[in-house]
Amino acid sequence: MTHTVRPPSRTFETRNPDWEATVRESFARQGVMTLIGADMGVLAPGHCEIRLPYREDLTQQNGFFHAGITATIVDSAGGYAGLTLMPAGAEVLTVEFKLNLLAPADGEFLLAEGKVLKSGRNLVIARGEVYAIKNGHATHCATMQQTLMTMHGRS
């Protein structure tokens, strides 16, 4: 008999009743997201999506999205997924992340998804995935694991 191990579906409790407004306002204050033209999409407790349309000035020498741009949006997606679970008045700061580039980021836009794996009082562990969307086809181009820190009392 073959057994398949499936991770349980994760549901998170928020600690900030205004978590969505807090996250969207923080995103709007991020100058780098404005600079590169990124938009926040789906947002749920423990989950955040960021979309980035293709622009030539965001590419490397072969015309693919630059790895630094890919890292920027997935770092923010994971960070904002974490912020959805932090208490009111808290802010989020990335402590570290590891990014694996799986395929060239060649597409009309990138979609970064951040998901919380574990949310603690001070540290949050998140995972991020980036997909390059081209002609309606998604190519998984990067994966990230990240540690976030809850910054209390900085507002």
Residue 129 domain boundaries: 19-151
In this structure, of 9-23, 25-39, 73-87, the range with the lowest mean pLDDT score is: 9-23
Other residues' Cβ atoms within 10 Å of the Cβ of residue 106: 17
Find out whether 146 and 96 touch, Cβ atoms under 8 Å.
yes
Q: Collect all residues with Cβ–Cβ distance below 8 Å to 53 and sequence separation of at least 6.
A: 37, 108, 109
Work out the pLDDT band at 46, boundaries 50, 70, 90: very high
Q: What is the rounded average pLDDT for all residues in the chain?
A: 94
CATH number of the domain residue 129 falls in: 3.10.129.10
Closest CA to 105 of 128, 131, 68: 131
CA distance linking residue 104 with residue 56, whole number of Å: 15
11 found inside a domain? no
3 found inside a domain? no
pLDDT at site 2: 47
63 found inside a domain? yes
Q: Where are the alpha helices (DSSP H) in the chain?
A: 19-29, 31-36, 67-83
CA distance linking residue 111 with residue 41, whole number of Å: 9
pTM of the model: 0.92
66 found inside a domain? yes
Number of domains in the chain: 1
The pair of structure tokens assigned to 83 is: 């912020």
| Strand partners of residue 64 | none
pLDDT (tens digit, 9 = 90+) per residue, 49-98?
Answer: 999 999 999 999 999 999 999 999 999 999 999 999 999 999 999 999 99
